[in-house]
Amino acid sequence: MIRLRGVDLDDLDPSGLRRLAPDLGLHRSDLFVLAGRRPVPADLRPLDPAASGAIGWLAWSLTYLPSAVPELHDLIRSLPQEPRPPDAAPPRRWQYPDGPGAVLVGLLHNRNLDWSGAAKFLFGVGHGPMLSASTIGMLGGGRKPLTPDLLAAFATFLDIPPADLSEATGISWPGNPPPSRPDVAALLWDARRLTAAQAEQILARARALRRS
């Protein structure tokens, strides 16, 4: 049974999860992942899986040029909303068996981070270890254990309360987690609505700012 803040999520149908999420202060798609309902409904997924590569590379600019975060976020919000591409289904390799790693990696995929992008954000923004892309996949598949320190490092750029992450994964919170980056978390969430071409536009601007 999956419980969150005293609520039995197993008892809720999809419409119930959608109604509950705002009351908990959570994104609807995140609540589906926390409840073990993966993949999330199509209308709640990131717009274009093909944008994940460019979004992942943003990690270095957001890490080494934090002053650029507001400008890049404003640019993301200024771009028009494009229709969802017809072939926007998530890759089959992003489907995982139930487990704490599947919850965490599912939340990363909700931000349109593929394995490589998640590794970049973990090392840069999250101040965690440098893991390979395949190791992130192993976390999702349960072949590498999710530790408290890893959970806290990833949580740096996830706008989800630590208590909820701990309860949903069954992983205790470490004593001294790294500081959170709500600015990066908000930018990442808004970037999930971008097409691949729009994400490349953001990445090009980020690289230009780093060179200036």
Angle in degrees, 0-180, between the axes of helices 69-78 and 182-191, rounded to the nearest 10: 20
Percentage with pLDDT > 90 across the chain? 88
pLDDT average, residue stretch 109-128: 96
**Residue 147 pLDDT:** 96
Provide mean pLDDT across the span 154-169. Answer: 94
Write down the pLDDT at residue 93. Answer: 82
Between 199 and 89, residue with greater pLDDT: 199
Kindly list the domain boundaries of the chain, sorted by start residue: 47-211
Which tens digits make up the pLDDT trace of 27-48? 999 999 999 998 899 999 999 9
Average predicted confidence (pLDDT) for the chain: 95
- pTM value is 0.95
- Report pLDDT for 90: 81
